[in-house]
Amino acid sequence: MKTFPFTKPQLEAVAERYPTPFYIYDESAIRLNAQSIKAAFSQVPAFVQHFAVKALPNPAILRILASEGFGADCSSLAELILAERAGIRGEQAMFTSNETPAAEYVAARKLGAIINLDDESHIDFLEEHAGIPEIVSCRYNPGPLKTGNSIIGTPLEAKYGFTHDQLIQGLVRLRDKGARRFAVHTMVASNELRLDYHIETARLLFTLAAEIKEKTGIRLEFVNLGGGIGIPYRPDQQAVDYEQLAAGIRNAYDTIIVPEGLDPLGIHTEWGRVITGPYGWLVARAIHHKNIFRRYIGLDACMADLMRPGLYGAYHHITIAGKEDAPQTEVYDLVGSLCENNDKFAIQRNLPVIERGDFVIIHDAGAHGRAMGFNYNGKLRCGELLLRQDGSVVQIRRPETVEDYFATLVDIG
Ligand SMILES: *Cc1c(COP(=O)(O)O)cnc(C)c1O
C-alpha cells in the first residue's frame, strides 16, 4: 500500500500557499526509517551510514539525517559544501568521486572528509595536489566476481574503481607515502532489492580485508559497502528487511572477520535511495485532457522535474488525491510538456477518471527526483516542501524563476 501524508482537503490548503508542481518530503517518516536502520545495524561493529547527497541534495534534509547520526557521501565540490553547511564535518563525510578535478581533492582535504580514491593513478595525483592524508579509502571494482544489475551495469564494463591487484599494490604505495589508516569501498548495485546480493557484497569485502591483511600487513579500519539498496517502487514489491540484512552481514562478519582476528572492522554504507526515496512525492495537477490514438492527461510537471521514467522507463506509482479507492476504470498516458515523446510519467496506466484540476501524486520521488532535474526546453524546476514533525509545511527550496534561467547568460549585444 502506497501512502501519502495528506488528504485532498489538506493538500488543497498546501497548494494554495505553494502552487503545484512541488516535491514534498515527510520528516517524521525519514526519521523513523533512519532510526530503524540504526537499530538493525547496532548488531554490526562501528556502523556509519553516509547519506549519498546526490539523492536529495537539500541542507534541510541533510540536517535531519545528521541529527539522526548519519554522515554524508559527496561526489563533487558542491556536495561537499552542502554537507558542510548542514553541519556534517570531518570524517562524517566520505568523498567518493571519479575523474576528480584537483581543486575538489584540495577542498575535500580541507574539510577533513575521508577521500575514497577511484583509481591507482589518483594516488600520485592526490599527493601532488593535496598531499596524502592520514586516512584514505580505495574503491574496488570486483570485475568478474560480481554480476552487477541493470541500472549500474556489470563491473567489467563499469568505469569505477581499482582492480584487485591494483588495490593491493595501491594500499602499499599509500602506506609508503605516509597514510596510516585505510579503508576499502565498493559499489556494485543500484536499486537492488535482493537481500542476498547485498550480503554477498559484504562477504566479498570481508574476504578482501582478510587477504589484504595477509598479503600486506595492512589492517583496514572499515569497509564501505556503497549504496544501491532498492525500494519497492511497484506496489507488489517488498522492501529490504533491515534486520535480516544486518543479521546476514553480521553472520558473514562472524565467519570471515572474527576468525582472522580482524574484529573490530567498521562497516560503512552510503545509501541514498532507501533513506529518502519512499518519503518524498512529486505533486502535480492535471491541466489537460487529450484524446487521439491514446488518451493523455497533461500535467503541470514534466520530465525536467522528474526524469527517471523518461530516462530509465522507471515505474513510479501514481494516485489521484481523493480517488485513492475509486475504481481504476480508465487507461491513460500521463505526460509532461517537454517536446520529447518520452516525457511520460506513466504509460497505459490503469487509473480512476481524472478531471482537470485533480492532484496527481507521483510516489517514491524522494531520491534521485528533483536532484536529476534539468532546464531543457526552458523548463523551470519546481520547488521542495517539507512536512515537519509538528504537521506544519515549510518551503525548503523555492521554484526556479525565469530570472534564474537567464542568470548565467552573458549578453554580448
Ligand atoms: C549513487 C551512489 C550512491 C547512492 O546510491 P543509492 O542507489 O541511492 O543508494 C552511493 N555511492 C556512490 C558512489 C554512488 O555513486
Q: What is the pLDDT of residue 145?
A: 75
Final residue of a domain: which of 245, 271, 297?
A: 271
Q: What is the pLDDT of residue 142?
A: 92
| Cell numbers given for 193 | 532489492
Ligand 1 binding pocket includes 160 (Cβ within 6 Å): no
Within a domain: residue 246? Answer: yes
Same domain, 66 and 127: yes
Q: Compute the distance between CA of residue 404 and CA of residue 309 in angstroms, rounded to an integer.
A: 26
Q: What are phi and psi of 315, to 5 degrees?
A: -85, 130
Same domain, 66 and 195: yes
CATH code of residue 14? 2.40.37.10
Same domain, 219 and 368: no
Average pLDDT over residues 359-385: 97
Ligand 1 binding pocket includes 385 (Cβ within 6 Å): no
- How long is the chain? 413
Final residue of a domain: which of 244, 271, 298?
A: 271
Ligand 1 binding pocket includes 309 (Cβ within 6 Å): no
Same domain, 98 and 149: yes
Contact 246, 43 (CB under 8 A): yes
Same domain, 285 and 254: no
Q: What are phi and psi of 396, to 5 degrees?
A: -115, -5
Residue 197 parent element (H or E): helix 195-216
Q: What are phi and psi of 183, to 5 degrees?
A: -145, 160
Same domain, 123 and 208: yes
Same domain, 245 and 320: no
Query: Can you say how many angstroms the Cα of residue 52 is from the centroid of all Cα atoms in its chain?
Result: 5
More confident residue, 153 or 352: 352
What pLDDT band is residue 43 in, cutting at 50, 70 and 90? Answer: very high
Q: Mean pLDDT lowest for which of 87-91, 188-192, 253-257, 304-308?
A: 188-192
* Position 119 pLDDT exceeds 70: yes
Closest CA to 346 of 329, 324, 363, 368: 363
Ligand 1 binding pocket includes 79 (Cβ within 6 Å): no
Ligand 1 binding pocket includes 198 (Cβ within 6 Å): no
Within a domain: residue 135? Answer: yes
- Determine the 3-state secondary structure of 17 from DSSP: helix
pLDDT in tens, 269-288: 999 999 999 999 999 999 99
Within a domain: residue 28? Answer: no
Ligand 1 binding pocket includes 230 (Cβ within 6 Å): no
Q: Compute the distance between CA of residue 373 and CA of residue 301 in angstroms, rounded to an integer.
A: 11
Letter string b/e over residues 248-258, b meaning 16 or more CB atoms within 10 A of that residue's CB: bbbebbeebbe
Within a domain: residue 38? Answer: no
Q: Which atom of ligand 1 is nearest to the CA of 139?
A: 13
pLDDT in tens, 69-107: 999 999 999 999 999 999 999 999 999 999 999 999 999
Contact 319, 282 (CB under 8 A): no
Same domain, 290 and 168: no
What pLDDT band is residue 151 in, cutting at 50, 70 and 90? Answer: low
Within a domain: residue 35? Answer: no
Q: Compute the distance between CA of residue 193 and CA of residue 225 in angstroms, rounded to an integer.
A: 15
Ligand 1 binding pocket includes 265 (Cβ within 6 Å): no
Within a domain: residue 39? Answer: no
* Position 330 pLDDT exceeds 70: yes
Average pLDDT over residues 371-378: 96
Final residue of a domain: which of 271, 287, 304?
A: 271
| Total structural domains within the chain | 2
Q: Compute the distance between CA of residue 201 and CA of residue 207 in angstroms, rounded to an integer.
A: 10
More confident residue, 267 or 147: 267
* Position 358 pLDDT exceeds 90: yes
Contact 227, 73 (CB under 8 A): yes
pTM of the model: 0.96
Question: Which range marks the domain in which residue 16 is found?
Answer: 8-23+278-406
Q: What are phi and psi of 385, to 5 degrees?
A: -120, 155
Within a domain: residue 249? Answer: yes
What pLDDT band is residue 147 in, cutting at 50, 70 and 90? Answer: low
Q: What is the pLDDT of residue 150?
A: 55
Average pLDDT over residues 54-61: 98
Same domain, 186 and 95: yes
Q: What is the pLDDT of residue 159?
A: 86
CATH code of residue 160? 3.20.20.10
Contact 51, 96 (CB under 8 A): no
Q: Which atom of ligand 1 is nearest to the CA of 270?
A: 10
Same domain, 217 and 360: no
Q: Omega into 5 within 30° of 0, i.e. cis?
A: no
CA–CA distances in Å: residue 25 to residues 29, 278, 357, 371 = 9, 9, 22, 13
Query: Can you say how many angstroms the Cα of residue 95 is from the centroid of all Cα atoms in its chain?
Result: 14
Ligand 1 binding pocket includes 72 (Cβ within 6 Å): no
What's the chain's Rg over C-alpha atoms?
A: 23
Q: Which atom of ligand 1 is nearest to the CA of 367?
A: 8
Ligand 1 binding pocket includes 276 (Cβ within 6 Å): no
* Position 231 pLDDT exceeds 90: yes
- Residues contacting 359, CB < 8 A, separation 6+: 8, 11, 15, 20, 283, 284, 285, 320, 321, 322
Average pLDDT over residues 37-58: 97
Closest CA to 72 of 58, 86, 52: 52
Name the residue of 270, 275, 312, 368 to mutate for ligand 1: max ligand atoms within 8 A of Cβ: 270
Ligand 1 binding pocket includes 193 (Cβ within 6 Å): no
Name the residue of 190, 192, 198, 229 to mutate for ligand 1: max ligand atoms within 8 A of Cβ: 190
The protein residue whose alpha carbon is closest to atom 7 in ligand 1 is: 228
Q: What are phi and psi of 318, to 5 degrees?
A: -130, 135
Average pLDDT over residues 241-250: 98
Q: What is the pLDDT of residue 49?
A: 98
Within a domain: residue 37? Answer: no
| Cell numbers given for 221 | 579500519
Average pLDDT along the chain? 96
Same domain, 73 and 94: yes
Name the residue of 49, 50, 54 to mutate for ligand 1: max ligand atoms within 8 A of Cβ: 54
Average pLDDT over residues 3-14: 98
The proportion of the chain whose per-residue pLDDT surpasses 90, expressed as a percent, equals 95
* Position 148 pLDDT exceeds 70: no
Closest CA to 140 of 210, 200, 201, 219: 201
- Residues contacting 218, CB < 8 A, separation 6+: 171, 172, 175, 182, 212
**Strand 383-387 to 22-26 pairing:** parallel
Same domain, 234 and 288: no
Q: Read out DSSP for 79-148?
A: HHHHHHHTT--GGGEEEE-SS--HHHHHHHHHHTPEEEESSTHHHHHHHHHT---SEEEEEB--GGG---
Name the residue of 74, 96, 186 to mutate for ligand 1: max ligand atoms within 8 A of Cβ: 96
* Position 212 pLDDT exceeds 60: yes
